[in-house]
Amino acid sequence: MSVVGEFVERLAAVDGFAHGPMPAPNAMATAIDLSGDPGVYLGWDDVGVPRMHQSLQAVGWRRLEHTISTENRLTEQQRMSEVTLGITGADGAIARSGSIALRSGPGRPRMASLIAGTHIAFLSVNRVFPTLFDLSLQRLDPASVSNVVLITGPSRTGDIEQQLNLGVHGPKQLHVILLSD
């Protein structure tokens, strides 16, 4: 099995959804289909698909622009409650666990992958690696960013009765759109 095939299989095993591989124009259409009813979204400046933000806005989505500082922290946190969709790229993926890796920084708010009910991430197939070790050596360079998030499926938690609940502390759905080269 290819490394991309293993990633797709493992992502499905943790309740995530893989789409593709496909070229960028098809990826944009797929993201719009998956996004649901228009509302407010939070997204990275560059998600790896040209004109993605313009396309979302053309179908009625409103992008939340935000800058969090000490002075506006409370106001920005309140505005985050409106966000129903997160759009990001992905810096890499781990086939063995079905995980994606995201590095935050300027133009890449980490909240885009953490607070919305639906998270859509774009991932180039050449960024899928067999293990975390392979990914970290080839792509992550964690010393160059403030934060690296590894995401393995949608948010999940169990209650005292050991009932699994999705989306309690983060996205209920994770869609990874694989971009062909």
The first and second tokens of residue 32, run together, are 């719009």
Contact 75, 57 (CB under 8 A): no
pLDDT, tens only, 115-153: 899 999 999 999 999 998 888 766 666 666 677 888 888
What fold characterizes domain 3-179? Answer: Rossmann fold (3.40.50)
Q: Mean per-residue pLDDT for 92-114?
A: 91
How much is the pLDDT for 61?
Answer: 97
Q: What is the mean pLDDT of the chain?
A: 86
Least confident among 63-67, 96-100, 103-107, 150-154: 63-67
- What residues does 156 pair with on adjacent strands? 166
Which DSSP state fits 60?
Answer: T
Per-residue pLDDT at 166 exceeds 60: no
